[in-house]
Amino acid sequence: MMEMLDCDAVMRQMWDFLDGELPLERMRALEAHIAMCERCSGHAKFERSFKAALRTAREDGADSTALGARVLAALRREGFTDPRGA
Amino acid sequence: MTESRRTDGEFETEALRHLPEVARFARSLAGNDADADDLVQDTFLTAYRQWHQYERGTACRAWLFTICRNRYYRVRERAQRQVATDDPVLESLAAAELHRSAQEGGLSDAFERSEVREAVQRAMAALPEVYREVAVLVDLHDQTYETVATILQVPVGTVRSRLFRARRLLQGSLLAFAVDAGLRPRGATPSTRGLAS
């Protein structure tokens, strides 16, 4: 039988839930509560949008080619042999 | 193939492929490209020298993040050091309160607005280091609490408390930005309660 949670318990564990850090049983219990609770679903939506906003701070497009060449040069001075023979 | 060439091949396959992620992490620590590039080079040189200590098959990226962070603090001669004693439960409840304040101010969709999203990097950079590094590892690099605890060499509970505090500080900063930018709907009652740390 699934554990029943009140809103305070859900609020206390909201971040752990959104980060997928709770045991499976507890994840399901929070998911079930949020699905049927307007207050908690609103809070979950707010926090999800915040996490999505943070992801925009990633610099996925950063070009690391020049840096990679520099690191490889430094490693070769340490005796590293590039397996590709470059 | 000699043993050293085989080892170098493993280093390239397992470690060097993480260079872009280490570079991003270094940039978040160092705050500027020049220092970050030095830090990345230092990280991989250290990793190469200590490659025999790396346990094959374990999380190489987390191992590199650990080295990167340790080198950063060693080079900067920073003490290990800032103490965060926040309570994660209180931080979670404060986050709920902050959401309520945002709702009252007509800002419940603030984080979906492009102006606010553009302010995220500045808000992240303004965080105290002890909080920023946790938020960067979890929210930008998708590391688990346990992995971050290993990287930072602190208990998982400390990771949670620092992370939740970091997020609340970020939310406060971003919501304050939204208010300053006039994103609050006209006529809505301003409510800044809980928007500041």
Going by C-alpha positions, the residue among A83, A31, A62, A79 that lies closest to residue B22 is A62
Task: Using the structure block, give the residue that is written with the tokens 């997020």.
Answer: B167
- What count of CB pairs under 8 Å joins A to B? 116
Q: What is the tens place of the pLDDT at every residue in B80-100?
A: 455 555 677 777 777 788 888
User: Could you report the per-residue pLDDT of A35-69, keeping only the tens digit for each?
Assistant: 999 999 999 999 999 999 998 877 655 567 888 88
When mean pLDDT is compared across A71-85, B78-92, B102-116, B159-173, the lowest value belongs to B78-92
Full-model pTM: 0.75
Q: What does the longest C-alpha to C-alpha distance in chain B come to?
A: 75
CB-nearest partner of A56 from B108, B117, B167: B117
Interface of A with B in 19-48 (CB under 8 A): 19, 21, 42-43, 46-47
CB distance from B164 to chain A under 8 Å?
Answer: yes
Write out pLDDT tens, residues B131-168. 999 999 999 888 999 999 999 889 999 999 999 999 99
> Both tokens of residue A84?
């590709």
Contact status, residue B82 vs residue B128, Cβ threshold 8 Å: yes
